[in-house]
């Protein structure tokens, strides 16, 4: 599971774009691929991922089936760290691995400056992915520069024991009926806090903000990449989250306090893409403490939403691009995505994988044997809006999350919003 999947590092998106197009220090053209070579004896095809992509067993399988094309994986613990290293290497004009993992929110930066990346377009993979995942990795002239590894349709993970304590329904179907809109979700939270004041209705204000943003078509940038943070939709998200801050932990998501909140006081609901289950298990403890029972409801307030999903890309610097494309295509094929789902919970981005019987019948013992495959497939079908991610998306998102976190710590929402607008202006 990719822990902390979308937090941006300090480097600005515009600096990133400059890095992606910067020339090599040696004077060589960084957008021209080097002479292509076969793998020499003892040489590896290299891939770098971050967090947990679930590729260990798959690469072992590949190596067993391809004795002449051995793959070596490097795993960086967090996307933030890998993004920093990636930018540094690009700015220096250095060589990257043959295949690199890219977090989904960073893909707009690559699409905006794609010349450092190989075109992965192929009739063999045409139509393979969910449309919104494939379109996010396409340049205006039709080049495909990333193969989608997974997607993040969101459900609600909830603690049925805390629901029972608060007098709320605990059955999955009844919970889904209770939380169909954001108004209903916050109203249920108010009722919950009155009954169980020492527990938290949700894990973090930032989590709720992200979930609501996933239903806004143009959260920060318009279709022409013009920045606009004064829209009614964005202000409605900010107002809803800051108004209901008392329902959450007031801890920044992914912080030590956020982790501790699962066992200190407890968290009743979490906006839950498939990969989030690993975070819950890690934070709560496995096996869960006596009396603690997690479950999954086939619902997401307001309809559907996607959070997360990464890509594999092939740098132009690779001297083994044909083999690198073959590896990336194999790792993201339906069969492999289903295997990853069974191991890590990362939900497939492949159209065919969503129909796989093994995926549809998958259950999760930690979550009261919830039919996870069936639920997340249903949630994928409910997604009707894919937010536009322009080149500055990840940087503005971080500033927006900072604004939310400031209000959690007692700063006046109007003051925090003013700081946010000033910081966004400085990015442009």
d(CA 158, CA 152) in angstroms, rounded, equals 17
Q: CA 244, CA 13: separation in Å to the nearest integer?
A: 31
Domain ranges across the chain: 13-151+307-360, 154-303+386-427
Count CA atoms closer than 13 A to 344's CA, side-chain side: 24
**Which of 122-136, 221-235, 292-306 comes out lowest in average pLDDT?**
122-136
Instruction: Kindly report which listed range (16-25, 199-208, 346-355) carries the lowest average pLDDT score.
Output: 16-25
We find that the CATH architecture of domain 13-151+307-360 is 3-Layer(aba) Sandwich (3.40)
154-204 pLDDT, tens digit each: 999 999 999 999 999 999 999 999 999 999 999 999 999 999 999 999 999
The whole-angstrom separation of Cα 352 and Cα 372 is 17
Going from the C-alpha of 278 to that of each of 6, 101, 225, 356, 413, the distances in angstroms are 16, 20, 35, 22, 32
Residues 6+ apart with CB under 8 A from 160: 170, 293, 294, 295, 368
Using CA atoms in the order 236, 238, 239, 245, what is the torsion angle rounded to 10 degrees?
A: 140
For the record, the structure tokens of 105 come out as 């929110």
CA nearest 188: which of 173, 166, 171, 172? 166
DSSP code for 245: G
Q: What mean pLDDT value characterizes the chain?
A: 90
Q: What is the mean pLDDT of residues 379-386?
A: 90
| Alpha carbons 352 and 418: distance in angstroms, whole number | 46
What stretch of H or E contains 297?
strand 294-297
Between 170-174, 209-213, 307-311, 398-402, the lowest mean confidence (pLDDT) is in 307-311
Give the pLDDT band of residue 344 (cuts 50, 70, 90).
confident
- pLDDT tens track for 47-58: 999 988 999 999
pLDDT band of residue 2 (cuts 50, 70, 90) is very low
pLDDT at 343: 85
Rg (CA), the chain: 22
Q: What is the pTM (predicted TM-score) of this model? A: 0.82
Instruction: Check pLDDT > 90 for residue 370.
Output: yes
pLDDT of 301 strictly over 60: yes
What pLDDT, on a 0 to 100 scale, did the predictor assign at position 72?
98
Tell me how long the chain is: 428
| Mean pLDDT lowest among 32-41, 126-135, 145-154, 184-193 | 32-41
**What is residue 92's predicted lDDT score, i.e. its pLDDT?**
86
What SS3 state is found at 255? coil
Q: What is the C-alpha separation between 28 and 34, in angstroms, rounded?
A: 10
pLDDT mean over 33-49: 91
pLDDT class of 35 with cuts at 50, 70, 90: confident
For strand 45-50 and strand 99-103, is the pairing parallel, antiparallel, or unpaired? parallel
* pLDDT at position 342 over 90: no
| Axis-axis angle for helices 79-92, 13-21 (nearest 10) | 40
pLDDT above 80 (res 217):
yes
| Lowest-confidence pick of 76-80, 300-304, 330-334, 399-403 | 76-80
- CATH 3.90.1300.10, applies to 154-303+386-427: no
């Amino acid at each position: 599971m990719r822990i902390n999947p979308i937090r941006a590092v300090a480097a600005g998106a515009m600096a990133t774009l400059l890095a992606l197009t910067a020339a090599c220090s040696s004077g060589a053209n960084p957008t021209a691929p080097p002479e292509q070579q076969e793998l020499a004896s003892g040489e590896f095809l290299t891939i770098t991922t971050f967090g947990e992509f679930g590729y260990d067993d798959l690469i072992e399988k590949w190596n067993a089936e391809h004795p002449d094309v051995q793959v070596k994986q490097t795993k960086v613990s967090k996307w933030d760290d890998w993004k920093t290293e990636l930018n540094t290497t690009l700015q220096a004009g250095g060589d990257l691995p043959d295949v690199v993992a890219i977090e989904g929110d960073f893909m707009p930066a690559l699409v905006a400056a794609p010349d450092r990346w190989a075109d992965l377009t192929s009739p063999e993979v045409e139509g393979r992915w969910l449309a919104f995942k494939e379109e996010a990795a396409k340049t205006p002239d039709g080049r495909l520069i990333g193969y989608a590894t997974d997607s993040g349709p969101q459900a609600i993970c909830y603690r049925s024991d805390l629901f029972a304590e608060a007098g709320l329904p605990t059955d999955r179907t009844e919970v889904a009926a209770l939380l169909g809109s954001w108004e209903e979700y916050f109203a249920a939270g108010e009722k919950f806090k009155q009954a169980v004041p020492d527990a938290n209705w949700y894990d973090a204000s930032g989590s709720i903000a992200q979930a609501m943003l996933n239903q806004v078509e143009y959260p920060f940038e318009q279709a022409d990449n013009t920045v606009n943070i004064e829209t009614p939709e964005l202000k409605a998200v900010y107002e809803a989250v800051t108004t209901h801050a008392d329902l959450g932990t007031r801890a920044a998501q992914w912080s030590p306090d956020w982790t501790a909140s699962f066992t200190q006081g407890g968290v009743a609901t979490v906006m839950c893409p498939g990969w989030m289950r690993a975070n819950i298990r890690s934070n709560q403890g496995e096996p869960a403490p006596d009396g603690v029972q997690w479950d999954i409801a086939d619902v997401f307030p307001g309809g559907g939403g996607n959070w997360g999903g990464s890509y594999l890309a092939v740098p132009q610097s690779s001297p083994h691009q044909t083999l690198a494309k073959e590896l990336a295509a194999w790792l993201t094929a339906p069969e492999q995505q289903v295997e990853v789902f069974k191991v890590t919970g990362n939900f497939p981005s492949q159209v065919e994988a969503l129909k796989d019987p093994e995926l549809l019948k998958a259950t999760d013992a930690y979550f009261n044997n919830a039919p996870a495959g069936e639920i997340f497939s249903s949630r994928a079908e409910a997604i009707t809006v894919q937010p536009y991610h322009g080149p500055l998306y990840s940087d503005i998102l971080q500033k927006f999350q900072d604004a939310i976190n400031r209000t959690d710590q007692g700063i006046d929402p109007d003051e925090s919003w003013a700081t946010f607008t000033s910081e966004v202006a400085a990015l442009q």
